[in-house]
Amino acid sequence: MERVVVLADIHGVLPALEAVLAEPDVAAADVVVLAGDIASGPQPVETLDLLVGLGERAVWVRGNADRELVAMARGTYDGQPPDAVSPWAAEQLRTDQVELLDALPTTVTIGDTLFCHATPRDDEEVVLVDSPISRWADVLSGVPEEIRTIVCWHTHMPFARQVDRRLVVNAGSVGMPYGAPGASWALLTSSGVQLRRTALDASAADQLAKHSTYPGIESWLDEYLRSNYSDTEALEAFRPRSEV
């Protein structure tokens, strides 16, 4: 396989997903890794249906929000929902979609590259681009030596950095990007890794406002699509969870 595209943290934002899938390099990819937190958002059913249509090109990885959606849909979720949209999204899913999310693996390996949602050992663990090397070494301690690239996401902020001669890549977020506007994703080829961003105009928010039945859609759009959190804001919010 020469081209692998990573689409992470789509969060049920169908217009952003459609815009990324229309990118020539995405359309030409041999594999599209769907890297967790796929459906928890304003158009969960439509998002999953579109991704299933990718067929064998799609390689699915489960994220923490996918796990939580399954529990909410089955009435087994214990605790406070992480946000307002998740319980609503869980109610929208068909039974086959709940079963699909429940069956997804938490890690996938292609060649010498490992794909996971947060870290290889936990779907909620937070580690940041500027976390100390000792923290990174602990997080990656169980990864086999033959794995030379680890691709993760979860924090919605794209980056690439070296960790003791390994490459760690965060593909960012398609649906809820932090740091800069536009849907972020990653392209992996034999030449290396490219962090990409697809611009979204006002029509994306207009489409969601028109087609999503989520009651809080206008507030959601104001927070995540009509504006976005800066990398400074996001890093400060995540930092306490990264220092455990």
Tens digits of residue pLDDT in 85-117: 999 999 999 999 999 999 999 999 999 999 998
Closest C-alpha among 175, 163, 39 to residue 102: 39
Q: Average pLDDT for residues 61-68, to the nearest whole number? A: 95
Beta bridge partners of 150: 114, 168
Contacts of 29 (CB under 8 A, 6+ apart): 3, 4, 5, 57, 187
Residue 244: pLDDT band (50, 70, 90) is low
| pLDDT beyond 80 at 3 | yes
Residue whose structure tokens are 């994220």: 63
Q: Identify the pLDDT of residue 198.
A: 97
CA 165 – CA 56 distance, rounded (Å): 32
User: Over the range 60-94, which residues count as b (16 or more CB within 10 Å of their CB) and which as e?
Assistant: bbbbbbbbbbbebbeeebeeeeebebbbbbbebbe
Q: What is the DSSP code string of 187-211? A: EEETTEEEEEEE---HHHHHHHHHH
Tell me the pLDDT band of 13, cut-offs 50, 70 and 90: very high
- Check residue 237 and give its pLDDT: 77
Residue-wise pLDDT tens digits, 157-200: 888 988 888 999 999 999 998 888 899 999 999 889 999 999 99
Q: Write down the mean pLDDT value for the chain.
A: 92
pLDDT on residue 33: 97
pLDDT > 90 in the chain, percent: 68
Let me know: does 205 contact 157? Beta carbons within 8 Å: no
pTM: 0.91
For residue 170, count CB atoms less than 10 angstroms from its CB and return exposed for 0-12, middle for 13-18, buried for 19 or more: buried
Residue 179: how many CA atoms within 13 Å on its side-chain side?
A: 17
- What is the layout of strands, in order, in the sheet containing 3-7? 58-61, 31-35, 3-7, 183-189, 192-198
pLDDT-derived band at 209 (thresholds 50, 70, 90) equals very high
Q: How confident is the model at residue 1 (pLDDT cuts 50, 70, 90)?
A: low
The alpha-helical segments, DSSP class H, found in the chain are 14-21, 24-27, 44-52, 64-74, 85-92, 95-102, 133-139, 202-211, 217-224, 231-242
What per-residue confidence (pLDDT) applies to 128?
81
Give the containing element (helix H, strand E) for 114: strand 113-116
